[in-house]
Structure 1
Amino acid sequence: MRVALIDDGVVPQVVPRLPARNDLCVLEDGTIRQRRQDEPVLTDHGTTSAQILHMYAPEAEICSLRIFSSPKLRASVGQLAAALEWCWREKIPLIHLSLGTTLSSDYELLCPILARLIRGNQMVVAAHSNRDAYTVPACLMGVLGVSADPQMSGYQYAVQDAAGPEQDAAVPEQVQITASSRHALTSPTGRVYETQVTNSYAAPVVTAAVHELLRKSPPLSLTVAEVYEKLAGRQVDISRSRPDFITEAIVYHPSAAPVCQEDLFFTVRAVAHTAAQWRQALREHPGIPTVLLPPATGEGMDAVLDWLHEKQCPGLLCTGPFPAKSGLPPVLLWEEGCRKSFPEYQFPADCASVAITPASQTALHLAKTLQRKFQADGYGCTVVSDLPAAYLYGAAYLYRDETGTPRISTWARHTQTDVWIFCTERKPDCDQSIQIKASGVLILGETETEISQELAKEEVDELYDFLLQS
């Protein structure tokens, strides 16, 4: 079984089972070809990862995709995306990355590719950053993210429950697998040495364990939820603070309440209001997850439960709490209770910020429209809201605990943000430069200016230009 190893290349003389057809380079323009002899492997990072993998899974056929071409181990997100796309096209069942990115802008490019891999039962094992940073892909729901445990050695690993108040403090937020990174290897000169404690060399242990599970099953037959459960030896919650496995969806919407499709974080493939319409949409769009907008009762909920027990279920996002989680098979299921890892956060006092109050669907639409404009101009922009279902629109969820302390979704705490847009009931705890009230008042310092409550495109353009100059 082939295992793709995306790194800086592998020295063939050190790692067995690396035929020339599996020794590839990903160029800066995304082209993939065989690595030439005049393109040496410049560090031992990828080779060491391959050695560890081969030590614990000697039957693995390693396929090396070299994206790093300098000793600094730097590559463009486009090269990583091209490597992952190649793995998807080639139906590689297992993909190993002792690498990742902490740039929030890279998430938008990589998440759709990773979501396809996850839904296609192509396993992705990825090392978490060695810094306390939200790491893509390791922190995504549906990826087997790994961090090193310095107390472990050899072929040891452990699976925690998803991030929450009871999680081991040594496990980074949103990564729930720890493994040994201390391995006794032999250098080409015959010297035996032990690898250092680093997440890069812990991830191959998990890749080896997943390889042993996959090779005993029919190709692409195990879901990532099933793999997590088999690794843990028990039922395990693999939820994250956002449903990263969804980039397109069938919307099952029994109540037919208004939804602004333009602002949703996913592409809508079909909308169904009855159980019969939903079943028809599933037949017409196989392999596409469902977003359930409650209430769904009686026959509608029975249909959802039956579907979750089917092997081909690609995932479900349920707005609101899901009524019957116990007894379900291992599936990709995200519901509001999954938003449980909310660290305390103090927004930078000098951050560029816009507040649109009070929170409403109209206010959130304006926030998303402004966000798209900021992002198109190259700014990192995050929308923060305390509306109950704001996550459907890609907003970071903000709430206050019983002491009034602000807490925010884990991923938003680590994003590199130039502009924060708040769509909340109360004024956020940072120095506001601009405040927009849904009543039709724009506040700049001590000055209030009347604006339209329902802004036309031209008015939004003018408002955006005004914000840039303020």
Structure 2
Amino acid sequence: MLIALIDDGIETSFVPSIRVKYDLSVGADGIVNQRAADDRILTDHGTTCARIIAKYAPKAEFCSLRIFQKQELRAACSQLLAAMQWCLAKQIPIVHMSLGSSQPSDFRAIRSIIARMLQQRQIIVAACSNSAAYSMPARLNGVLGVVADKELKDDEYTIMPNTLAGHNLILASSRHELALPTGGAYTTQVTNSYAAPAVTAAVHNILEQSGAFSLSVVQMYAKLSKNKHNMTFSRPDFVEDAVILNPCGYPVLRQHLFFNYLRECTDLSAIRQASELGRNIVYLAPQGQGTSELYEGALLKNNHVMQSLLYAGSLPKGMECMLDNGLVWSENCCTYGKHIPVNQSAEPPVVVNLYGQGLEAVDTLCQLRDLSVADGYQCRGICDYPHSYLYDLEFLPRGISPEAAFSYVSQVYRPDVIISNLQMSGRIAPVDQDSYSVLLGEAGSYESALLLKNVSCLKPG
């Protein structure tokens, strides 16, 4: 079975036993071509990854996509995106990346391609950053992110305890004995790059038995864990090219949606016709109006063609397993704060608390977040306004304290900046001497906030 290996290339003259079907190179212009004879591979990073995979999956066949052209193993994000897009278009069943990006400005484009790959049942294995920084694609929900465990050896791996809820990381051995060309052998170092290949080999061997594209990533995760663990999603990263079903006509900030949407349906007759539904659905469930079963019946009718579902609400019992591939997210998944001890962030981020109500405040939060990311800062937004997760914000549901959510975001993303907008009555954002407060509207509306330090006021218009 074919495995795409995005790295610095595979040197087949060094290891002729490795089968390489495609030997490609991605230029600085993002164009994918056959690797030229004079395009020398300068390190053994990609070759070592391929050797580890081949050791435990001897029937594997490789597609080598060379994006690293220098010994520093650095590439432009456009090269990574071009390689991933090639894998998407060619429908390569397994994609291996012992690499990633920690640049916030890269995340949106990477997530978009990964989502499309997951929807067509491609399995992506990626090494997490050795620095523990938040990186893509490994930390995306739906990607098999891998971390090295020095206690494991050979092809051993185990499911990481779910201490960071929704991030389904796998611990794997990175110590592999490989033959030297001069005779003898050596053991690879403990690093995430050489742990991920052990998982890729396991994925290959499972699909070799069941067939390419026979399993979704959720089903693959269950196989890897021997059905002891279920894959959970803290975020609906797999949503892309979606149809929005909005029977109640809830207002939506379309300019800030984290996903590409094809159209929005508000008419019941259109929603009830399965032929009108797309393969990827974002459903804004009616709240407390007693008619949701009409729309959910249409969803259930269409479940055989649906690839992903974002259920904007609390998913009713009986609908949890409505999709065979398991790419379902709802507000029930927002439990992250319950798993993180409070105040354990090593490097506290700058906190900006935005005081304001309604979609106007959410719009301002998104704009401030986007400006921070454009300036190169790792910035995350926290909001409790309904459906705010549609805008790539960390949603704070009832029952989760702001302190727990801030602690979670600090530990998972290690952001430079957190911007919060808490609108629910009685909720107060954590405040300290290093935090900043931004008042949206007239300052007189926020008498209690005026007692805070570092206060600014933004007026509409």
1:198 is the counterpart of 2:201: no
Where does residue 227 of structure 2 map in the other structure?
234
Where does residue 125 of structure 2 map in the other structure?
125
CA RMSD of aligned residues (A): 3.4
Segments of structure 2 that go 5 or more residues without pairing to the other structure are: none
Following superposition, the deviation at residue 410 of structure 1 comes to 4.6
Following superposition, the deviation at residue 241 of structure 1 comes to 2.5
User: CA distance change for structure 1 residues 111 and 10 in 2, over 3 Å: closer, same or farther?
Assistant: same
1:283 to 275, 286, 295: 275
Q: Higher mean Cα deviation, 198-207 or 271-280?
A: 271-280
2:422 to 421, 424, 444: 424
Q: Tell me the secondary structure at the aligned position of residue 298 of structure 1.
A: helix
8 Å CA contact 2:383, 2:420 repeated in 1: yes
Take 2:348 and 2:94, find their aligned partners in 1: how far apart are those partners? 44
1:302 to 297, 303, 309: 297
Give, as a single letter, the amino acid of the residue that structure 2 aligns with 1:429: V
Where does residue 333 of structure 1 map in the other structure?
328
Q: 1:194-225: per-residue Cα shift (whole Å, max 9, x none)?
A: 22222211211111121122233454342212
Q: Higher mean Cα deviation, 377-386 or 354-363?
A: 377-386
8 Å CA contact 1:15, 1:50 repeated in 2: no
Would you say how many aligned residue pairs link Structure 1 and Structure 2?
444
8 Å CA contact 2:437, 2:455 repeated in 1: no
8 Å CA contact 1:157, 1:180 repeated in 2: yes
Where does residue 45 of structure 2 map in the other structure?
45
Q: Tell me the secondary structure at the aligned position of residue 408 of structure 1.
A: helix
Where does residue 153 of structure 2 map in the other structure?
153
Give, as a single letter, the amino acid of the residue that structure 2 aligns with 1:386: D
8 Å CA contact 1:274, 1:300 repeated in 2: no
Q: Tell me the secondary structure at the aligned position of residue 365 of structure 1.
A: helix
2:360 to 359, 362, 370: 362
Take 2:345 and 2:362, find their aligned partners in 1: how far apart are those partners? 20
Take 2:222 and 2:347, find their aligned partners in 1: how far apart are those partners? 43
Give, as a single letter, the amino acid of the residue that structure 2 aligns with 1:333: V
Take 1:32 and 1:387, find their aligned partners in 2: how far apart are those partners? 43
Give, as a single letter, the amino acid of the residue that structure 1 aligns with 2:438: Q
Where does residue 85 of structure 1 map in the other structure?
85
Segments of structure 1 that go 5 or more residues without pairing to the other structure are: 166-172, 457-470
Where does residue 217 of structure 2 map in the other structure?
224
Where does residue 114 of structure 1 map in the other structure?
114
Give, as a single letter, the amino acid of the residue that structure 2 aligns with 1:206: V
Where does residue 60 of structure 1 map in the other structure?
60
Following superposition, the deviation at residue 353 of structure 1 comes to 5.7
Following superposition, the deviation at residue 340 of structure 1 comes to 2.5
Following superposition, the deviation at residue 6 of structure 1 comes to 0.9
2:169 to 161, 176, 181: 176
1:383 is the counterpart of 2:381: yes
8 Å CA contact 2:278, 2:306 repeated in 1: no
Q: Higher mean Cα deviation, 241-250 or 31-40?
A: 31-40
Take 1:213 and 1:349, find their aligned partners in 2: how far apart are those partners? 41
Q: Tell me the secondary structure at the aligned position of residue 201 of structure 1.
A: helix
Give, as a single letter, the amino acid of the residue that structure 2 aligns with 1:144: L
Take 2:358 and 2:4, find their aligned partners in 1: how far apart are those partners? 46
Q: 1:125-160: per-residue Cα shift (whole Å, max 9, x none)?
A: 111122222221111111111122222222222235
8 Å CA contact 2:436, 2:454 repeated in 1: no
1:435 to 438, 442, 450: 438
Q: Tell me the secondary structure at the aligned position of residue 332 of structure 2.
A: helix
8 Å CA contact 1:272, 1:278 repeated in 2: yes
1:243 to 236, 249, 252: 236
Q: Tell me the secondary structure at the aligned position of residue 202 of structure 2.
A: helix
Take 2:150 and 2:349, find their aligned partners in 1: how far apart are those partners? 37
Give, as a single letter, the amino acid of the residue that structure 2 aligns with 1:355: N
Take 2:104 and 2:373, find their aligned partners in 1: how far apart are those partners? 12
Where does residue 262 of structure 1 map in the other structure?
255
Q: Tell me the secondary structure at the aligned position of residue 407 of structure 1.
A: helix
Q: Higher mean Cα deviation, 78-87 or 328-337?
A: 328-337
Take 1:4 and 1:450, find their aligned partners in 2: how far apart are those partners? 51
Following superposition, the deviation at residue 372 of structure 1 comes to 3.9
Q: 1:46-105: per-residue Cα shift (whole Å, max 9, x none)?
A: 111111111111111111111112222222211111110111122111110111122222
Take 1:410 and 1:260, find their aligned partners in 2: how far apart are those partners? 26
Give, as a single letter, the amino acid of the residue that structure 1 aligns with 2:275: R
Where does residue 209 of structure 1 map in the other structure?
202
Where does residue 392 of structure 1 map in the other structure?
390
Give, as a single letter, the amino acid of the residue that structure 2 aligns with 1:436: L
Give, as a single letter, the amino acid of the residue that structure 2 aligns with 1:288: N
Aligned-pair identity in percent equals 36
Following superposition, the deviation at residue 451 of structure 1 comes to 6.3
User: CA distance change for structure 1 residues 302 and 446 in 2, over 3 Å: closer, same or farther?
Assistant: closer
Take 1:270 and 1:415, find their aligned partners in 2: how far apart are those partners? 32
TM-score, with length taken from structure 2: 0.84
Following superposition, the deviation at residue 259 of structure 1 comes to 2.6
TM-score, with length taken from structure 1: 0.82
Q: 1:445-470: per-residue Cα shift (whole Å, max 9, x none)?
A: 98999865xx33xxxxxxxxxxxxxx
Q: Tell me the secondary structure at the aligned position of residue 86 of structure 1.
A: helix
Q: Higher mean Cα deviation, 260-269 or 410-419?
A: 410-419
Q: 1:369-421: per-residue Cα shift (whole Å, max 9, x none)?
A: 34445555665543332335321222234589888734238566554756543
Following superposition, the deviation at residue 362 of structure 1 comes to 2.1
8 Å CA contact 2:168, 2:232 repeated in 1: no
